[in-house]
Amino acid sequence: MSWILPPGASTFAGDIDFLYYVILVITGIAFVVVEVGLLVFAIKYRARPGRKAQYIEGSIKAEIIWTAVPAVTLVIIGLMSGGVWNHIKGRNSIPPNAIPYEVHVKQFEWNFTYRGPDGQLGTSDDFIVRNQLHIPVNRPVELQLIAEDVIHSFFVPAFRVKQDAVPGMDIRVWFEATKVGEYEIACAELCGLGHYRMRARVFVHSAEDYQQWLSDRAAAADEE
Amino acid sequence: MATSAVSLEPAAHVEAHELSFLRKYIFSTDHKIIGIQFLLMSFVFLLFGGLMAMMIRWQLGFPERPLPAGQLLPETMAPGGILLPEFYNSLVTMHGTIMVFFAIMPLLVGVFGNYLIPLKLGAPDMAFPRLNMASFWIAFSAGILMMAGFFVEGGHAAAGWTAYAPLSADPEWTGVSGGQQIWLLSIAILGLASIMGALNYITTVVNLRAPGMTWFRMPLSIWALFVTAILVLLAIPILSGAAIMLFFDQTIGTHFFDWTDGGQVILWQHLFWYFGHPEVYILILPAMGMVSDIIANGSRKPVFGYHSMVFALISIAFLGWVVWGHHMFQSGMNPTLGMTFMISTMIIAVPSAIKVFNWMGTMWRGNIRFHVPMLHSVGFVAMFVIGGLSGIFMASTPVDIYIHDTYFIVAHIHYVLFGGSLFAIFAAVTYWYPKMFGRMMNSTVGKVHFWLTFLFYNMTFFPMHDLGIAGHMRRIYDPSQYEFLQPLAPLNRFITVSALLLFTVQILFAANFIMSWFKGKKAGENPWEANGLEWTVASPPPHGNFAKVPTVYRGPYEYSSPLVEEDFLMQTRKLASDVDPAAAGP
Amino acid sequence: MAHPALMKPPARREIGADVYSEKLGMWVFLGSEVMFFTALIGSYIILRFGSPEQWAAPGQILNIPLTAVNTFLLICSSVTMVKAFAAIQDGDQRLLKLYMLATVAIGAAFVGVQAYEYTHLVHAGFLPSGYSAGSELAERAAEGLLPVSVGVYGSSFYTMTGFHGFHVSVGVICMSFVTWKAYRGAYTKEDHRGVEVVGLYWHFVDLVWIILFTIVYLV
């Protein structure tokens, strides 16, 4: 049992994990203070013959302290979070050189459209691979999520990426993978009876391997 | 006529002693009977909701093994005792729906709102007793209708208790049509009952307080119920409107949430959560209020910071209207809105923190009696704080990217609704049981129930934080489909076993409740040596509650007052130094 | 135990509002109704801004003159309601009955005109789901004289006005009950709470209509 996040493999992981640990420490301290406090009070102030409680109605000073300290702490957490949020989800924060993909999401599969050798999405050399997303390491990618039936949610735990795909809305999600490897994609919004098996995989290749994969795919397509 | 004279004794009460069994116990207009009716109804639904949870946990813990007694279920739900994915989705939906709408909400608002408000304010009954009766029977009908959904073709609603469109709007996506429609109708009908109840509570609190019971002499339980009633009044109609729109999309072909013809999918989420966030405060505020009363009583001390506690209640209720978007951070909603909702969500954590510290302050330097209600109330504080703190993780929008729709959220929900609300309900039922039934619940059984529940509860739900941190999604029928979730199977099994034990242990509470009704030690007027007005009358109180209209001389928390020997001083006790409130009004 | 009805008059209760309970209850209930219509009207605003091309221009599909007359009728019924209340405040039973009857009649007429309007619209092909296939309106849309689709326009129109009409109908029933009670002499100069409370509800329903008429028919 552990509160340690699994290893991250994207540029977002550093920021998000840091925020998580900051909050973990702060809430951890609050947790200990309250629980230990309750336990200590329960034992120390339990009823015993001959004792009487002290008739205290309150303390303005205490109220001010325990209002201000949480308020200031939370505002700080909020401000720290704001910049990270904007960087990840801000509409203007998608890097202009991100490699574009289209993702057609439906019950119960992910269809990834690749831009093909001409480097342009929406042209005749685009190709689709079901449930497999191949991307190069250390390059930002931008996915346009196109939901075709109900709401789904594109979730890659290792990349700390999650974005709902909503039918009728133009939704973009971007990220940059930092480690070569294979990672799982899950659907994170109840979408019907097959929601539990709406699994796909991301393959993060080195730059050369990515080029190789693309040309292998193009060659295979030519043979068809 | 524009006078302010309030009718004191509704005429119906004059014939109280001549009423038939039917009028006295079934179609009663007496708030105490109605409160008990809500109690019995809610306990039945709590049992159903719990059974559903056991089935869900069985699937997650032992997916290959047939459910015990699973052969009793039809083939459309669990052939050979193994749950189908469709039925699993339905279970997850109905567990949430029944627990929120037919267990916790009626237990807190229907039972204690009804039972306590007139008694603790010195009134003979609610302002509108017949409306009160109607409200119970309408709620009951909604409950029957909701259960009927299990028997229709296509099964019951399976789009989550949150019923997101388009999944919920078109039978094409789930195979469910009748079930979802019944769900929507039932919710709308229940909403009507809630609104009727709320307007009764508000009117009673505003107009029927006994002489001397000024606003700041009301107990926090009543303040909380009053503020909750206002939230119910304003939030439930939003849900009714949304449910009607979704019902029309399902039945007469409207397009409110139909993106293919001008509708907007996310509109449902906005409407639902605009209701939904105030709703979760409806599910916690009465619990907080009653826990305040009980902790003061147990500690033999005034509530620390009574006025702060009132203002915290009001702030939470007020702020609860501007945080709804925090359920939608990843929904595709404009990210700038994400920022604003994050700020408001961070702010709303503050009044809850204030309350936790004030409860601790109440115990500090007290002379604490650990009767069963006090045990549950301290347990409430200990568990609620965990739920509140976990909320901070999800309030941070970037962290929410990771934990949204994972078991971390499920852990949070259950820490506030079970660790919070349900523990408070155990406390409140035990505390007011003698007043309701004239007998004490067995204290030893109560203590064993508390400790075992506390233990198994934490064993069940604390590990869910870990599942969430590992990335375990919600509402997943078979986690083993994912390699990254396979190592979590042992933890899921552990949680399931703990949950089964937790559920089983509730037999102690049920048995205690039932047996004490017949065999419990007879209770006097004031077994807890408490200060409120309900403890000045017989257990149970007679029809009409008070033989004489009580006069109130002080606030509700004068425990260990220097003015008297005893460590409690009732609100209605007149001391030599007390002055009667003015006999004639403005 | 002394029977409550036999005890001496008590000291005054703590009253939070200088309003008797039934009236306070009605105000509180109307608060919930405001939220209900807010959900419907708020959704309408969002949907209209989101899909403005679905909305026909004022008068293209809906019958403004007829509904304007209907609006006037409803306002008249509020006037008669006020007069009924004023009558019983003066103790005038005759005028109370007269004006209550008038209010009920006009209210019923409003519902009747609305029902007529609905049947006319459905016949022409304007449904909650949009155009009905092969209808007169569907043909005009095909010719480019009307929006291509009125899916959400129809949905919001019927839902908003339909629920308003439902509230009016309930009001007519309640007012009929109050009128019947008036005929039985239930109201006096000193106590006519039922008249005032039903009047409050009626004025609210009228106010909602004025808002709906403006945003649904005129904008």
Q: pLDDT tens digits, residue range A69-112?
A: 999 999 999 999 999 999 999 989 999 999 999 999 999 999 99
Q: What is the CA radius of gyration of chain A?
A: 25
Q: Which of B332, B392, B396 sits opposite A169 (nearest CB)?
A: B332
In a domain, A81, yes or no: yes
Contact C155 B248 (CB under 8 A): yes
**Cβ partners under 8 Å of residue A54, min gap 6:** B301, B365, B366, B560
Question: Is the CB of A52 less than 8 angstroms away from the CB of B300?
Answer: yes
Assess whether A49 and A107 both reside in one domain: no
- For B423-446, give the DSSP string: HHHHHHHHHHHHHHHSBPPPHHHH
Structural domain contains residue A94? no
C150: CB partners within 8 A, 6+ apart: C54, C55, C56, C61, C126, C130, C131, C141
Q: Which of A27, A62, A89 is the last residue of a domain?
A: A89
Distance between CA atoms of B414 and B384, rounded to whole angstroms? 10
In this complex, the chains that touch C, judged by 3 or more CB pairs closer than 8 A, are B
Tell me, yes or no, whether A31 lies in a domain.
yes
- Closest-CA residue of A relative to B556 is A57
Work out the minimum CA distance from A220 to partner chain B, whole angstroms. 29
Q: CA-to-CA distance for C202 and A204, rounded, in angstroms?
A: 67
User: Bridge partners of B156?
Assistant: B179
- Name residues 237-276 of chain B within 8 A of C (Cβ): 237-238, 240-242, 244-245, 248-249, 252-256, 258, 261-264, 267, 270-271
**Two tokens at C184?**
């039985």
Which chain B residue shows the shortest CA-CA distance from C153?
Answer: B262
Q: Do residues A41 and B360 make contact, with C-beta atoms less than 8 angstroms apart?
A: yes
Task: Determine, yes or no, domain membership for A64.
Answer: yes
**Residue A6 located in a structural domain:** no
SS (H, E, C) B371-402: CHHHHHHHHHHHHHHHHHHHHHHHHCHHHHHH
Phi first, then psi, for residue B83 (nearest 5°) are -65, 140
A85·B339 Cβ contact <8 A: yes
What is the rounded distance in angstroms from the CA atom of residue C179 to the CA atom of residue C189? 16
Taking CA atoms, B560 is separated from B359, B372, B529, in Å, by 17, 21, 11
B26-536: CATH, from 3.40.50.10170, 1.20.210.10, 1.10.730.10, 1.10.274.10: 1.20.210.10
Minimal CA separation from B535 to chain C, in Å: 16
User: What distance in Å separates residue B137's CA from the closest CA in chain A?
Assistant: 34
One domain, residues A118 and A160 = yes
Question: Does one domain contain both A30 and A114?
Answer: no
List of residues 6+ apart from B444 with CB closer than 8 A: none
Contacts of B491 in chain A (CB under 8 A): 1
Q: What pLDDT, on the 0 to 100 scale, is given for residue C85? A: 96
Interface membership of C15 toward B (CB under 8 Å)? yes
From the list B447, B305, B425, B444, the residue with the least C-alpha distance to B363 is B305
Q: Can you spell out the DSSP letters for B217-263?
A: GS-HHHHHHHHHHHHHHHHHHHHHHHHHHHHHHHHT---TT-GGGT-
Residue B4: φ, ψ to 5°: -100, 5
Name residues whose C-beta falls within 8 Å of residue B352's C-beta, 6 or more positions apart in sequence.
B312, B316, B384, B388
- Reported residue count of chain B is 586
Find residues 74-133 of chain B whose CB sits inside 8 Å of chain A. 84-86, 89, 92
> Structure tokens of B39?
């109690």
Which residues, numbered 118 to 137 in chain C, qualify as contacts with chain B under a Cβ-Cβ cut-off of 8 Å?
127-130
CA-closest candidate to residue B222, choices B113, B92, B74, B90 = B113
CATH number, domain of A26, equals 1.10.287.90
Nearest by CB to B306, from A57, A75, A197: name it.
Answer: A57
Residue B67 has phi, psi (to 5 degrees) of: -60, 135
Cross-strand bridge partners of residue C126:
C131
Mutation target among B358, B392, B485, B494 for the A interface, most CBs of A within 10 A: B392
Note whether A84 and A112 are same-domain residues.
no
Q: Looking at the partner chain, which of B127, B195, B258 has a beta carbon nearest the beta carbon of C151? A: B258
pLDDT recorded at residue B333:
93
Which residues of B, range 429-468, sit inside 8 Å of A by Cβ? 463, 465-466
Looking up tokens 């920022």 gives B339
| pLDDT (tens place) for every residue of chain B, 586 residues total | 333 334 444 444 444 557 788 888 899 999 999 999 999 999 999 999 999 999 999 999 999 899 998 888 998 899 999 999 999 999 999 999 999 999 999 999 999 999 999 999 999 999 999 999 999 999 999 999 999 999 999 999 999 999 999 999 999 999 999 999 999 999 999 999 999 999 999 999 999 999 999 999 999 999 999 999 999 999 999 999 999 999 999 999 999 999 999 999 999 999 999 999 999 999 999 999 999 999 999 999 999 999 999 999 999 999 999 999 999 999 999 999 999 999 999 999 999 999 999 999 999 999 999 999 999 999 999 999 999 999 999 999 999 999 999 999 999 999 999 999 999 999 999 999 999 999 999 999 999 999 999 999 999 999 999 999 999 999 999 999 999 999 999 999 999 999 999 999 999 999 999 999 999 999 999 999 999 999 999 999 999 999 999 999 999 999 999 999 999 999 999 999 888 887 544 4
DSSP string of B40-84, one letter each residue? HHHHHHHHHHHHHHHHHHHHHH-TTSPPTTGGGS-TTT-GGGPPP
- Nearest chain B residue to C126 by CA: give it: B254
B 183-202: CB under 8 A from C: 195, 198-200, 202
Nearest to C25 among B199, B252, B255 (CB): B199
Q: Do residues A208 and A110 both lie within one domain?
A: yes
Q: Would an 8 Å CB–CB cutoff place C49 in contact with chain B?
A: no
| Interface contact C201, partner B, CB < 8 A | no
Calpha distance B67→B82 (Å, rounded) = 6
Which domains does chain C carry?
A: 63-218 (1.20.120.80)
Amino acid at B249: D
Instruction: Report the C-alpha gap between B278 and B283 in whole angstroms.
Output: 9
Residue type, A15: D
- Decide: B341 and B323 in contact? Cβ < 8 Å: yes
Tokens 């869910």 sit on residue = B464
CA angle C23–C29–C31, rounded 5-degree value: 110
CB contact, 8 Å: B540 with chain C?
no
Pairing of strands C130-131, A109-114: unpaired
**Residues found in chain A:** 224
Q: What contacts 24+ positions apart, CB below 8 Å, involve B563-570? A: B566/B529, B567/A52, B567/A53, B567/B300, B567/B367, B567/B529, B568/B297, B568/B300, B568/B529, B568/B530, B568/B531, B569/B531, B570/B526, B570/B530, B570/B531, B570/B532, B570/B535, B570/B536
Token code pair at residue B88: 């699993």
| Domain segments of chain B as ranges | 26-536
CA distance linking residue B499 with residue B456, whole number of Å: 7
Reading the block at residue B368, the tokens are 């604490």
Q: Which chain C residue is nearest to residue B538, measuring alpha carbons?
A: C1
Q: In whole angstroms, what separates CA C105 from the centre of its chain?
A: 14
| Nearest CB to C21 within list B127, B209, B244 | B127
Between CA B348 and CA A8 the distance in angstroms is: 31
Residues A84 and A103 in one domain: no
Q: By the 8 A CB rule, do B317 and B342 touch?
A: no
Q: What is the DSSP letter of B541?
A: P
The answer to whether B127 contacts C50, with C-beta atoms less than 8 Å apart, is: no
Cβ <8 Å between C15 and B551: no
Residue-wise pLDDT tens digits, A64-80: 999 999 999 999 999 99
Burial (CB < 10 A; 0-12, 13-18, 19+), residue A66, is: buried
- Inter-chain contact B167–A190, Cβ cutoff 8 Å? yes
Q: What is the CATH number of the domain that holds A153?
A: 2.60.40.420
Nearest to A88 among B260, B305, B401 (CB): B401
Segments of chain C scoring below 50 in pLDDT? 1-11
The whole-number pLDDT of residue A224 equals: 54
pLDDT value, residue C6: 40
- Residue from B255, B259, B282, B334 whose CB has the most chain C CBs within 10 Å, to mutate: B255
Q: Are the C-beta atoms of B305 and B361 separated by less than 8 Å? A: yes
> Could you tell me the two tokens for B103?
């267990």
Interchain CB distance below 8 Å, B208 and C158: no
Nearest to B357 by CA among B327, B402, B312, B401: B312
Sequential DSSP letters for A95-125? -TTPEEEEEEEETTEEEEEE-TTTT-TTSTT
List of chain C residues whose C-beta atoms are within 8 Å of the C-beta of residue B191: none
User: Is some CB atom of chain B closer than 8 A to the CB atom of C16?
Assistant: yes
Please tell me whether residue B135 adopts helix, strand or coil conformation. Answer: helix
Token pair 């947790």 is at which residue? A31
Q: Does B361 touch chain A (CB under 8 A)?
A: yes
What is the C-alpha to C-alpha distance for residues B463 and B411, in angstroms, rounded to an integer? 8
Q: State pTM to two decimals.
A: 0.95
- Where on the phi/psi map is residue C131: left (φ > 0), alpha (ψ -120 to 50), or beta? beta
Nearest to B401 among A4, A16, A197 (CB): A16
B contact residues 223-242, partner C, Cβ 8 Å cutoff: 233-238, 240-242
With CA atoms as reference, report the closest residue to A10 among A176, A208, A183, A215. Answer: A176
Beta-carbon separation of C21 and B13 below 8 A: no
Token reading at A57? 């109605």
pLDDT at A219 (0 to 100) = 79
Q: How many CB pairs under 8 A join A and B?
A: 291
- Contact list in B for residue A156 (CB cut-off 8 A) is none
User: CB distance B166–A150 less than 8 Å?
Assistant: yes
Identify whether residues A149 and A76 lie together within a single domain: no
The reply to whether residue C28 touches residue B198, judged by beta carbons under 8 angstroms, is yes
What's the total number of domains in chain A?
2
Q: Could you tell me how many helices (H) and strands (E) chain A has, helices first?
A: 3, 10
A155 strand-pairing partners: A162, A186
Q: For residue B185, count other CB atoms closer than 10 A to its CB.
A: 18
The pLDDT of residue B70 is 86
Which pLDDT score is estimated for B8?
47
Q: Which of B343, B347, B405 sits opposite A188 (nearest CB)?
A: B405
Q: A207 and A111 share a domain?
A: yes
Of B54, B11, B169, which is closest to residue B505 (Cα–Cα)?
A: B54
Residues of C in contact with B127 (CB under 8 A): 21, 24-25
Radius of gyration (Cα) for chain B, nearest Å? Answer: 24
As for the ipTM of the complex, it is 0.96
Taking the C-alpha atoms of residue C160 and residue C174, their distance in angstroms, rounded to an integer, is: 21
Domain of residue A179, residue span = 99-223
Quickly list H helices, B470-572.
Answer: 489-519
Residue of A nearest to B564 (CA): A55
Q: Given A54, A89, A124, which residue is the final one in a domain? A: A89
Of B220, B212, B216, B217, the closest CA to residue B550 belongs to B212
For A144, name the nearest residue in chain B, comparing CA atoms only: B332
Helix C151-183, helix C193-212: angle, nearest 10: 160
B339 contacts chain A (CB < 8 A): yes
Residue A2 lies in a domain: no
